[in-house]
Amino acid sequence: MLPEASASAFEQLAARFREEHAPLVTRAKAVAQEICEAVDRELKSGALSLANLFDTDYQPIPDTDPVQFSTRYLPVFERILPPILERVLGENSKLVFCVAIDRNAYLPVHNRKFAQPQRKGERAWNMANCRNRRIFDDRAGLLAARIIGDHRIQSYHRDMGNGVRVAMKEVDAPLVINGRHWGGVRTAYTM
């Protein structure tokens, strides 16, 4: 049991943390809601089926290094997600990326600046600049992908390849589509 003074100091610190991060949590949850609504429209229109939405038969894309993957829902996501993700990215100068990942940490669509065409034989460049269509099943990626609570705040060092690691603070929110957990939204900020 903590002494009363320590408990009070800890509660004050926790309250400041919650207050400081409240706008970031609100943003992540709003993005998640917007993505869920966009996907739901595709389901209702018939452009996307539930079976395709929950496809996890990741097909390697030939001649990619690091390997990129395709899914049955990728074409729909490549059409509907960029306008949402790019708009959100432009709303805050400290926001480094905003993405949706499935429950296995597959990231189908990244922000434009991290979704460049791969360069053959330039793995280090590809690691940093071609982050779409990849599986990021490291600890941070899986925690974001499998989020089932209201939100998660985490910090980590982002592996950009070639030994480069960048300190990040991330706020995640779950993506629940048609009553099923699909994955999560990752909003990452510079520290």
| Contact criterion met (CB below 8 Å) for 113 and 131 | no
CA distance 74 to 83: 15
pLDDT of 82 above 80: yes
pTM for the whole structure: 0.89
Token pair for 114: 């991290």
Radius of gyration of the CA atoms of the chain, in A:
18
**Residue 146 identity (one-letter amino acid):** R
Q: How far apart are CA 119 and CA 10, in angstroms?
A: 50
pLDDT confidence bin for 3, thresholds 50/70/90? confident
Domain 4-190: CATH superfamily is PAS domain (3.30.450.20)
Helix (H), strand (E) at residue 153? strand 152-161
Residue 29 clears pLDDT 70, i.e. is over it: yes
**Mean per-residue pLDDT, 148-169:** 85
Phi and psi, residue 167, nearest 5°: -70, 130
Domain ranges of the chain: 4-190
Residues 6+ apart with CB under 8 A from 64: 118, 126, 130, 133
C-alpha distances (whole Å) from 130 to each of 2, 10, 49, 52, 135 are 48, 41, 28, 24, 12
Q: What's the pLDDT at 147?
A: 94
Residue with tokens 């048609």: 178
Burial class (CB in 10 A: 0-12, 13-18, 19+), 187: buried
